[in-house]
A and B are shown apart, each in its own frame.
Chain A
Amino acid sequence: MLGHSGAGKTTYVSLMYAEMQQGVAGFRVQANDHGHHEQLLRDARQIRASRYPPATRQRASYDLTLSYNGSQVLPFTWRDHRGGAASGRSTDAADVAQLTADLKEADGIVVFVDGAAVSRDHAASRMAARLSSHVLRAMHERAEVLTPLVIAATKADLIDLDDEKVTGAIFAPFEELAKAVAETRHIVGTIIPVSCGPSPLNVVVPVLWSLRFGVTGMAMRLNAKVEASASAMTSAAAKDTLTDRIVSWWRDEPSWASIAEDHRKAGLRALQQLQVLIPPAEGLEALLEGIHYF
């Protein structure tokens, strides 16, 4: 999560966790650490009673697991940075450099902006626009890896979402970035109004959007593994001869036949893992249908 102080990142992670704990169309998220589980649910209860958590003082990292219909699908880590880290100098605090490093490594980026402030205040809009540089820097010097990008305009309950002037003002700081994202094949972005108050809105969308591409990315990696194993198996099988089997047995070395068999088993394992991902991938696609993307 990337955003300035007061954008609602800490509030979001708690409420997102509580909603995903209840389950959404068969999907659930579970913290690996019981302490995190308790803390996030406790904070969510407070938020629902309009008592918001204090600003994060240091980087928090939550190891979570997505499951679908009771089966574990994807482990993932959700990182919450101190808001000041996005606008601080690395000479002032260690977590500033940590945020830059985390963004470079991230499989997905969720940008949080205070939608209510951005819609009415030029200074807030300029602050929001600063976040584009973080995204560009993070994407620089890394291969074209499938990366979801969500811009979460928080405090949507304070915004008139039917007023196009207001929604236009929220989108304005990211307009050029969105155009640039739309021209890439590997970054898929969306902008979502989010409210974490007593009347929540779209709370699960940023996490599910990110996980959708996490699952897709994992499926693509497994597919590549299946193909690589098939190719290695074919290549090894072509070298299998009776002489090779005898010589390998005599030298106590793996024969080309056994190497081909190992590749077949590895490919089969990857294929089985890939098949497990198909129902949740389809489920996420159906769940997020209708969300506009760029």
Chain B
Amino acid sequence: MATPALKLTMLGATNSGKTTFMLGMYNTLAEGMHGYFMFTEDPDQDLDLRDEWNALLESGTLPAATTVQASRYYGFVFNHGFTPLVSVDWMDYRGGAIADRKDAADVPVLQQRLADSDSIYLVLDGQKLAPWLDRSASLTAVKAALGVGRVSTLVQRAVTERSGRGLPVPSFVVVVTKADLLRGPGRTLRAALDRLVHEALEDLAPIAFNPDITALVCPVKVGNFGVRQDPATPVNISDIDPVGLHRPTIFSLMHYLSEGMGAREAEQASRTASRSAADQQLLELNQGFLAFFRGNRIAAAQQRVKDLDDALERGRQEYAANQNLIGRLMQELAGHPVIKNGKVER
């Protein structure tokens, strides 16, 4: 079975924590978690990502924000054990891109990238959401602070373009960083997440409720760093405690495989129909006295039936393997809110 290739784009405002999330995600998975592994196709990228992570672990230095000029591309391979599940073309889009005016030079590039993406992440800064959860700031003020106003429009355009090209709708993940700050007095992380999903998300990212889209809301944290006024200040290394960083990638893969299941079912149905037609042809060739003179055609038809049987069996095995894998991936996401057909599920 060929390893699927998944294109993933991560959007978020400057200092939302998206680069730190990606760094934590990679380094957690590079050493392996619950049997899942990630490595870079290019060994040099592995060194860059590990060096930045080590700087955080050793001196509390958080990675620099993706600069205005430079978005970053990574080529990852995501494995279960030694079995490759998916190769990921990951783009960490520069922070300012989603706030740019639509005539900014690279906005068309971003739009194209989104239209090519199988999965889109919107990274929301948990520190900026906390005042709304504490009821000390309005949702309008928080929305302005998060700087994500145009994301839904950009993603909706991408969805429309992909549908026009006959491509599946991308999965959408709302990654809420600095999840330690979502908790508050008498408020659990789960309660905070429920309130976010039911009372704010439709305003912050209405695209998540688009009936065509399946979205995951996933809190993540690299550590319990508390409220930080200056993102450049080093964090206390004893507070580093990564949680949930692998889940967005798990969801992207699960959605990608689930979308592919429909195509596989259609493929199997077409093979079954061809198999019936081939059977019928074989039956007709074997009828009558002329059958003695149709040796070559009968042999060719028999071979075709055999090939179709083999293809059907392979299809059945791949289908079962994918179903099994989707089941395993779902276990990792248990309890996380998923928005499907505009409705929240857990």
Contact = CB atoms under 8 A, between A and B. Distances in A.
Interface of A: 87-91, 96, 100, 122-123, 126, 129-130, 132-134, 136-137, 139-141, 173, 175-177, 179-181, 183-184, 187
A125 to B, nearest CB: 10
Given A123-B58, A126-B54, A180-B37, A133 B46 contact: yes
A100 to B, nearest CB: 6
A180 B47 contact: no
Given A176-B37, A184-B81, A134 B31 contact: no
B84 A132 contact: no
20 contacts: A89-B47, A100-B43, A122-B57, A123-B54, A126-B54, A126-B57, A130-B50, A132-B32, A133-B43, A136-B39, A136-B82, A137-B39, A137-B41, A137-B43, A137-B77, A140-B39, A177-B32, A180-B35, A180-B82, A181-B82
Nearest to A103: B43
A290 to B, nearest CB: 26
Contact of B32 (A88, A122, A180, A184): A180
Nearest to B46: A133
User: Interface centre among B32, B37, B41, B58, by most A CB within 10 Å?
Assistant: B32
Given A88-B47, A180-B32, 11 more contacts: A96-B43, A130-B50, A132-B31, A133-B39, A136-B77, A136-B79, A137-B39, A141-B84, A176-B32, A179-B32, A183-B82
B44 A179 contact: no
Interface in B33-54: 33, 35, 37, 39-41, 43-44, 46-47, 50, 54
A89 B54 CA distance: 16
Interface string B68-99: 00000000010101101000000000000000
B30 interface: yes
Nearest to B37: A136
B267 to A, nearest CB: 25
Contacts of A91: 44
Contacts of B81: 179-180, 183-184
B43 A132 contact: no
A168 to B, nearest CB: 16
- Interface hub of A139, A173, A180 (most chain B Cβ within 10 A): A180
A184 B82 CA distance: 7
A183 B36 CA distance: 12
A53 B35 CA distance: 39
B82 A139 contact: yes
Nearest to A186: B82
Contact of A132 (B30, B40, B41): B30
B82 A176 contact: no
Contact of A129 (B31, B33, B35, B47): B31
A245 to B, nearest CB: 27
Interface string B130-163: 0000000000000000000000000000000000
Given A126-B54, A133-B40, A139-B82, A176 B47 contact: no
A89 B43 CA distance: 8
A134 B54 CA distance: 18
A90 B46 CA distance: 12
A19 to B, nearest CB: 32
B104 to A, nearest CB: 32
Contacts of B39: 133, 136-137, 140
Interface string B3-32: 000000000000000000000000000111
Given A180-B81, A187-B82, A90 B35 contact: no
B82 A133 contact: no
B165 to A, nearest CB: 29
Contact of B43 (A134, A139, A181): A134
Given A89-B44, A132-B30, A134-B43, A179 B35 contact: yes
Contacts of A100: 43
Contacts of A126: 50, 54, 57
A90 B41 CA distance: 13
A129 B41 CA distance: 17
Contacts of A173: 31
A235 to B, nearest CB: 18
A129 B50 CA distance: 10
A177 B29 CA distance: 11
